[in-house]
Every structure is written in C-alpha cells, then in structure tokens.
Structure 1
C-alpha cells in the first residue's frame, strides 16, 4: 500500500491526463479511497462520457459541471456501485440529461466489517453494458470489459483510440483491491486479473491513486501476491490454526489492528475459493485441510 501524498491534492481541478481524458478528484479522501475518487471525462469534442461520477457531493458535482462546460454528456458510466463511485450518477444525469450506462445495479446487504464503501442503493442504470459492448462519441470509443471479483457487477472501460483502460477498483496502483464475501469472489477476481494480463493496455486509470504505466507488470505482481496469501493460509492450516481470527494476526503483522476484522474478509474469500476447489473444508468457523 502506497503512502498518501502530502496535501494539497488537486481536489475539484480538471486535469488533462492525455488528449482525450481529463480527471477530477472528489473531496472524499479516506484510508480506502486514497486521496479520493477520481472521475474521468472522456472526449475532447462536443460530446463526452463521464466515468465513475463519484459521491453525491455538491462541490464535486459543481467541479464536474465546470469541467464538462458546454459539451453534451453522452453517457454517465459506472464501474460498480460502491458509494464512493456511483451516487453522483443520478444527480449528474438530472443536471445534464445524460443516460446512466454501465454496470448492473447491485445493492447487497452486508453488515460485516468492511475495508471499502458499502453499496449504493440509489443507482438505477438506463442501460446495462455487457462484456464487449461499446459506447462512442465523435472522437472516442469505450468498450466494456467485465471484471467481476471486487464486486460481481464490476466493469472496466477500454478507450479504443489511446489504449487506456479505466480500471475502477479492480486494479489500483496504490493498494490491492478489497475482495469481501459474500459478493466479493476471489475465484472471479483472479480470473479477471488473468483476463487483464492477457490484454495489452497501454495505461491504467484507476478510480483511486496514480495511473499505472507498467500495466502487465503490476497485474503479474497482484496475481503473485494473491497466490502468496493462499500459500500462507495453507501453511497456517498445516500448523493447526483453524480459525480466521487466529490467522489474521500472523498474516497481517504490522498492520493496524483496527483493520484486522476487514482483513479477515479477504482471508475468508481465499478460504471459500480453496473450499470450492476441494482443498479445504469447514465446520462452522473452523477450517481444515482436505487430503
């Protein structure tokens, strides 16, 4: 995990990151959003798309409207429906008349300890994109890339003209993605990482943290990290540690203990994956290796 840079951050400022892409940082910094949610405006002409409009914050909406200016908004696209990504979609749609197009609606009741935002129950898309579906404007084409795992409805968006990929929370340069059951799925997440590794995207623009230029190198490292966590879990089971509450202190030494309950959700995601692959079994909260 990368250290959060010193203030000031470019909150509310429209930054040009490449000719067809601008970025506006929302005022919602936190331990799980880094300096805040980054909303992207795609297109340099009269029609643009907005990716991950972010939280329903008056200052952020005002900054987005200023950045959009006189352009028509062709689509408001959401990668997934956590509350730091999609709540501004409805208000921005009402301000611009643009349709909300992107991931499917998902409002999952989850009372467990979280290390990310809860789900946005207000999200109501006008159109749901499937893997490979396209949106286009006069100078841009966005292609939906289904990447379930962090959430079951997660999408990335590929900008055909420049080779950029907007990765939401699936791949970030500052931290690994949270995979928290019951909706977060480790097997799906790993398959989605493999899917991105097989691509040749030039740059990643995540919703939090800096852009990623060494795209396949980062994804390879993330796959290795998850496999290393899996090996840790199997080793601890061999040593006789049968419960997640006993595993977490060993696996997350040096991590703030207040984050341990949320870290346990990631361990649970790995154990569920291992169970589905026939490597472990459980009785209530106790886990064991299968021969």
Structure 2
C-alpha cells in the first residue's frame, strides 16, 4: 500500500476553528495513513474523539495538542483496537471521563478482517442516540450508526455542522462489515439514516475529510447494492463457498485482502438469508428458488 508522503504524524493540524486533528503512527491496509484523533474545542475545555492506540508517543501528542485546557470528555466511536485503547491511559493521566459508545468484546473464530476489539475499554457514560456532551463553545451529539460494529456511534458537532464518522463512512475506502458483530442490514439502515441528515462535512477516523457527504453516502449505498447483486449472480451459477466467490467478485485486488472481502461477502449472505433469498449447508451457499 502506497501512502501519501510527508504524513504529519503526531502534529496537531487545525482543520476548522474548533477542530484539531492528530494522526497516530499506525498506518496499515485497514487504517490507511493511521488513526486520526480529533480534539474539539478551543476554550477552557475540550473533547478528544477516538484517542487511538495505546501508543505513548500518540498519547503525548494528544496532551501537547490539548495544552492547558481541561479534557471534558474522552469519546470513542467504537472499540476496535485502533480507536479506543488510549482512552484508559489518557483518562488515568488527566482524570477525564470516558464517554461515548458502549463496551463490547466479541470472540470471533473467523479470519480477522480488521483490528480486534479493545478489552480495556470501560466507559464512564454511554451515549444513547441523540444524547449529547457539551463544553466551552461546543456540543457533540451522538448518532447511533451500528453496522461496522454493533456499538458504533458517529458524533455531530452541532455548532459547525461537522460529523465525526469513525469507521462508518470513510472517503478512502468502504467500511469492512465483519460478522458476527458486523451486520449488513444494520449498516445499510445507518447509511440511510445519515442520508436523511444535512451534515456539512464528515471527519472520518481514517483518510481525508469528506466534503460531499450526501453524494458519498448515495454512492456507498449503491456500491453495497451492487455487491449484493454480484453475490446473487454468483449463486445463479450454482451453490458455492465464499472462497470460490471472492476471486470472481473482487478481481484485481491484492490476495492478502481476500479474507476481508470474504467477511463482507458473508455479511451480504447473512442478510440475504435473513430475507429468505439464500440458504447454506455448512460452508456452501445456494439460492432459494420460489415455486
């Protein structure tokens, strides 16, 4: 994977008057340039969104960005290990409460397609859909967006119209939906929920800001529907296992990403099964033909 040059790892970038971004040094095929931590607020107190991995250098970079301000809330969109592990040491250093998504730890025997879940995450307060946290000149409102994970939240900065989208919507890549916790039906419903909003800009945890949110969400929904049609076309040729379907559906991708692609195919198949369109015996999936 070729990454952009001169990445500002560990340096605070002001991306709008109340928002600064700090990039963690954890680039990968699934995190792109790394996890982007956001510091919201420029007054007496601030919120830290997605503090990232428990990397001492990244934690120090966050503290340097915060400066003399008080951290009113350490907020996590979800609990994959590239997002929330720094919450506990940052809270220990500052006394700030951890507020945001619910805790989740899920055992998964399938091939991992993304970062595993953070077992250290222990929120002081869990935000329900529509609940908010406020500070000096800022308000962050929770927008429940399950799908990538069952506990995923986006966070809306009410004063500026920005939405921090975590891994739900990213400009550089589609989000991995990995069962059993990742759920395609929930993900599509969450995309539809965002489509009804009028957010000005998205700030994802990985990759560049999304300046055309409505257009991107429409495209992502269309992409998922196209993948579903691909799954059905594959099964029209006869029963198949996922490893046989992936190379046909994802032509040209790096074979190292076949595992991740297979998890998304499985998510589509589970959704189709729940809708009565397909069935499976063991690892082999087939269409259910009507009379």
TM-score (norm 2): 0.98
**Count of matched residue positions in the alignment of Structure 1 and Structure 2:** 289
Partner of 2:125: 127
Question: How far 1:111 sits from its partner (Å)?
Answer: 3.0
Does the 8 Å CA contact 1:241/1:247 hold for their aligned counterparts?
Answer: no
Structure 2 counterpart of 1:231, from 226, 229, 232: 229
| Correspondences of 1:172-211 after superposition (within 5 Å) | 172-211=170-209
Provide the residue aligned with 1:93 in structure 2.
Answer: 91
**2:276 counterpart of 1:275:** no
- Note the C-alpha offset of 1:241: 4.4
Residue 4 of structure 1 contacts residue 35 of structure 1 at CA under 8 Å; is this kept in 2?
no
Partner of 1:141: 139
Separation in 2 of the partners of 1:168 and 1:181?
Answer: 18
Which residue of 228, 241, 251 maps to 1:253? 251
Question: Aligned residue for 2:75?
Answer: 77
CA distance in 1, matches of 2:245, 2:163: 36
Unpaired runs of 5+ in structure 2? none
Pick one of 20, 24, 27 that aligns with 1:26.
24
Q: For 1:217, which of 215, 218, 226 is the aligned residue? A: 215
Q: CA RMSD in A?
A: 0.9
Q: Separation in 1 of the partners of 2:48 and 2:259? A: 35
Once the two structures are TM-superposed, the CA of residue 257 in structure 1 deviates from its matched residue by: 1.2
Cα separation, 1, equivalents of 2:255 and 2:20: 38
Task: Please tell me whether the aligned partners of residues 37 and 208 of structure 1 are also in contact (alpha carbons under 8 angstroms).
Answer: yes
> Where do 5+ consecutive residues of structure 1 fail to align?
none
Contact 2:40 2:46 in 1 (8 A): yes
Q: Paired residue for 1:113?
A: 111
C-alpha contact (below 8 Å) 2:176/2:260 kept by paired residues = no
Partner Cα separation in structure 2 for residue 199 and residue 219 of structure 1: 11
CA drift at 1:113: 1.5
Cα separation, 2, equivalents of 1:107 and 1:116: 14
For 1:244 and 1:51, how far apart are their aligned partners in 2? 36
Q: Is the 8 A contact 1:28 1:35 kept in 2?
A: yes
Cα contact 1:48–1:71 (8 A) shared by 2: yes
CA distance in 2, matches of 1:30, 1:128: 29
C-alpha contact 2:104 2:117 (8 A) present in aligned 1: yes
Deviations, residues 39-97 of structure 1 (Å, cap 9, x unaligned):
00000101100000000001101100100000000000000000000000000001111
Pick from 241, 244, 251: which aligns with 1:243? Answer: 241
Q: Which ranges of 4 or more aligned residues in structure 1 deviate by more than 6 Å? A: none
Task: Report the 3-state secondary structure (helix = DSSP H, G, I; strand = E; otherwise coil) of the residue aligned with 1:136.
Answer: strand
Q: CA deviation at 1:258?
A: 1.8
Corresponding residue for 1:11? Answer: 9
